[in-house]
Structure 1
Amino acid sequence: MKIKMFVLYGGKSVEHEVSLRTAFTVLGSIDREKFDVFPIYITQQEGAWCCCGIQERPHATIDELVMRPESVSPSQSMGSVLLRYMSGEGKKVVLPLLHGSNGEDGTVQGLMELLDIPYVGNGVLSAALTLDKAVSKQLLAQAGIRQTDHISFRLEQWSEEREQWLDRLERALGYPCYVKPATLGSSIGISRCEDKDALIRGIEFAFRFDRKLVIEREVAGREIQVAVMGNERPLASLPGEFIHRHRFFDFESKYMDKELVMSIPAELPAGVMERIREYAVQAYSALCCSGLARVDFFLGEDGQLYLNEINALPGFTGTSMYPVMWERTNGTAYSELIEKLIDYAFMRHADKLTVQYAR
């Protein structure tokens, strides 16, 4: 009997568009001889759930992924999808392809835990930790992993003590620096600031997307990425990097630039490649990750490695770093990689079933 695979995508998130791109590639790569595929679209404005049953063949365009909900009420639409499609018998797994808030942050993972359905990727705790840059940096610092200098603060602190925070940022970090929403990815809401006026504009802009920010000192050098996969014994891929002409690798640069070139494996000095892979696994374990994550580093001009961040649901299109790094590392094809991640989901769920809930 085929495994029922429920693919969640879209979502009430500013990264909705990125999720559609990921879902389009994943849905086009799943082996329908092994899986009955149920695409579940979540609207951006209301967070309503939509499902039209089994998808016999992949969509021809990304636009076809967008469905209209029977009800705009998230609770009613979610309940309808859960009862009609996900409550049936048989082996099943959920593949959450939801980037950013309301999907990558532990919320959907918590729902799957309550429903007792295996799901791909990080659990509740690790999903929440990795999405919150401020909290993850604290834990990584405790694990002894070097990071770039940074400061975090909340909207109410900025509103009440604006000049004090500006003075602290200029003294501690200087320019150029980067302003980042604490709980977003895909470089959305990020600004590179070279002076005080730009810093103020960047902070005000970032607060449109989040109520907590992280400000980081710029590290002159290269950005190196590593794909990690696994549960208790995670594996790290060969490191890679994008070769590009942009001073700031923002959303448009990542997703619109047709001249991006992947260098995998990245050309690195002797010994640096293995150190990056070792640190990636160390950071992955420190944040209790499972399933998959992409770990991003800066290799400074001083030769030092600085961990930038961990992305618990990296981009998964055909031109995204994560799947290509595994293909270049050990020949794992895109569709094979998806099935490996599903296997990790089943293994984690089976391990959970061994836990006793009564004395």
Structure 2
Amino acid sequence: MKDIARRAGVSESAVSFALNGRPGVSDATRARIRALAEELGWQPNSAARALSGERSGAIGLVLARPAHTLGVESFFLRLVSGIQEVLAAGRIALLFQVVEDIDAECAAYRRWWAERRVDGVLVVDPRTSDPRPELLARLGLPAVLVGGQAPARGAADTPDPAIPEAAPPLGLSRVRSDDARAMADVLGHLHALGHRRITHIAGLPDLAHTARRIASLRVEAARLGLSADRVRSVPTDYSDAEGAAATRRVLAEPEPPTALIYDNDVMAVAGGAVAAELGIPVPGRLSLVAWDDSALCRVTHPRLTALVRDTAAFGRLAAEELLALLAGGAPRVRESEPPRLEPRESTAPPPAAY
């Protein structure tokens, strides 16, 4: 500021008024000061601004998942790319951290709030029992919950295709995708092909979207008249290793499933490899469906039937909603475009003998 004031021939106060967009200088002086600031490569100090009560110019994102499950899953990379696209346009930084569990995530929020490190946060992986919304509301830290809530109590046992969600989080905006409808579409596709023994290789069971998918599978199976002991979910940690292990277990059963639904692309590819190792042809004796489409699904032979959605657009929607909150907007729920099922070569009718 001293350098700019000296070159412009004005006081440091005038420089402060001009750079912070405050009254007290003429438009011509403001333009001259800003031109000099740009020439000198001046940038505002986010830490100093935060201490003075202004915004930090950063948004926070914490992932509380086992680190080994993130390196092979493309979903979060695409989600973050969409978030970053919106933030970069507004010259807003993304503060990103991976932690071991939900307690460490909550500790990160408390620390960021105390240090004024971020203006708001994007909260991913809603839990079935989630302490984060209440904590963020208590801190007064603006937040957007990325994903739907868990089903309301008893929804998994109620033959209601809507599968009502739990109450919205306190003071948070939310962007969500219709997992229940997507699961109904997948099960409907397999049922129409003739499959009656179907296993869902699910993700982490305490995540709300996993709970919604499991609930939807039960509801839709009941609606289609499918036996509950032949249509079921098996939880994993989303990794290729657990996806392969779960596939091996269910295919070794006396009456193995004729179709498998995987909660991500990595597990589906791993499951296909297990089937090949066991000499089980896909889709001749076993049909496979992946939840999120990716290049893996399209280059695997046979190509995998998958749920296709624009994950980057989901990330953009979340970032836009958080910026709307920071601009004074009211909390609300936004729906993303629902996933669509794209049948490929990995699904076909089961053989008559099965």
TM-score (norm 2): 0.36
Q: Higher strand proportion, which one?
A: 1
TM-score (norm 1): 0.36
